């Protein structure tokens, strides 16, 4: 019985993992991500600011003068 349960769990986990990776497409208009409080922080991917922990916000091509 345990074997049958494990037999179905692995394909489901594989589909979830593949779906998560394929859905994460980069926006070509985003130049970098920065912290609103610390603009010197510039990262290529979203995340948290290493100084204050705030979420990084995207800076897009059309926002730069």
The answer to whether 16 and 7 are in contact (CB under 8 A) is no
| pLDDT score recorded for residue 27 | 85
Q: Which residues contact 51 (CB under 8 A, 6 or more apart)?
A: 35, 37, 38, 41
Predicted confidence band of residue 23 (pLDDT cuts 50, 70, 90)? low
More confident residue, 51 or 17: 51
Residue 61 has a pLDDT of 87
Using pLDDT thresholds of 50, 70 and 90, give the confidence band for residue 22.
very low
Helix (H, G, I), strand (E, B) or coil at 48: strand
How many residues in the chain? 65
Gap between the Cα atoms of 33 and 21, Å rounded: 20
Count the alpha carbons within 13 Å of 53 in the hemisphere toward its beta carbon. Answer: 0
């Amino acid at each position: 019985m345990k074997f049958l349960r494990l037999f179905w769990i692995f394909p489901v986990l594989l589909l979830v993992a593949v779906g998560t990776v394929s859905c994460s497409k980069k926006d070509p208009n985003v130049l970098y991500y920065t912290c609103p409080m610390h603009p010197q922080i510039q990262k290529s991917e979203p995340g948290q600011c290493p100084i204050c922990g705030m979420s990084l916000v995207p800076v897009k091509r059309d926002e730069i003068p």
